[in-house]
Amino acid sequence: MIQTIAPRSLTLGHLYPDQLNLYGDRGNILTLQRRCQLRGINLRIVGLGVGDALAPDEYDLLFIGGGQDKEQAPVAQDLYEMKGIGLWAAIEDDMPVLAVCGGYQLLAHYYRPAEGPDMRGLGVFDAWTIHKGAQTPRCIGDIALRWNDQTLVGFENHGGRTYLGTTPPLGRVLKGSGNNAEDGNEGAVYRNAFGTYLHGSLLPKNPHFADHLIELALRRKYGQGTSPGEPGSLNGQFHPDTEDDHTSSPELQSDLASSLLTPLDDRLEWEAHASILERLGLHTEAAAALRNARDAVNVSLALS
């Protein structure tokens, strides 16, 4: 008897797709969808607008993008009153959540705009945001940060300054402003929830981070392989601080083979990543990204 293996599937909840959609943030959704499709994973996208409740058991990933202050006020109220309990339950159950810019701010304790009352956040991140007024320059431009032993790149454009309490940052700024242009932190992390100011959009230029979110969702749903944080759990990510060519390494091949995700040919993605690093004068990091582009092809061919 031939046993058929059911295809893997995930459901992504896209919070406020009509209100919070600045600076190409929808490209993050398209990237997740495409990278799943190339691996035979069905990613269903469900929009959650104002007035919609969030039932955590119906989703495997959540995304919330950025918007202007005038759009954030009604969203902040709805997020707190309609979706807060469900979102908290999802996050405490280790559901992967990506929150960009305005969405990031609304998952902290509060956002204090330049004018008007504070907007209450959910307090997922022990953080708060203050807009210091038009006299304070915006944090705008290309940005690169150190995430674990790799780099993340993107574009930031925010007037608010975010300050962290006990919550650890997503990464440390290499070039750019980050949370507040003062302390070198960028973003925030709580369990599998990630807040960041990186637009640009984030996931098309950072395939390793996109795959990290997908694999977290797969491991949570299907319970396969190693736990997040164990060797090999990040889809065979390459370590650009290491100079050796790892494509023939038995250890790396083993890590990749045990991953839930088949390696893809990410040459274009890594070249786009490297171009931002070059523009920022981060030549060593750009060279590492180009090695990733080469290695992605070699490993993809080796495992095909």
Return the active site residues. 101, 199
Establish whether 138 is an annotated binding residue: yes
User: In whole angstroms, what is the distance from residue 64 CA to residue 195 CA?
Assistant: 10
- Which residue type, as a one-letter code, is found at position 239? H
Contacts of 83 (CB under 8 A, 6+ apart): 15, 48, 52, 53, 54
User: In whole angstroms, what is the distance from residue 181 CA to residue 162 CA?
Assistant: 9
Could you tell me where the beta strands, DSSP code E, fall in the chain? 9-15, 42-48, 61-64, 97-100, 110-112, 119-120, 127-131, 139-147, 150-158, 160-164, 171-175, 185-186, 188-190, 193-196
Place of tokens 């406020």: 16
Angle at 269 between CA 195 and CA 194, to 5 degrees: 10
CA quadruple 36, 147, 183, 286: dihedral positive or negative? negative
Token pair belonging to 255: 């890590």
Place of tokens 């990031």: 104
Query: Which residues sit in the known binding site for substrate?
Result: 138
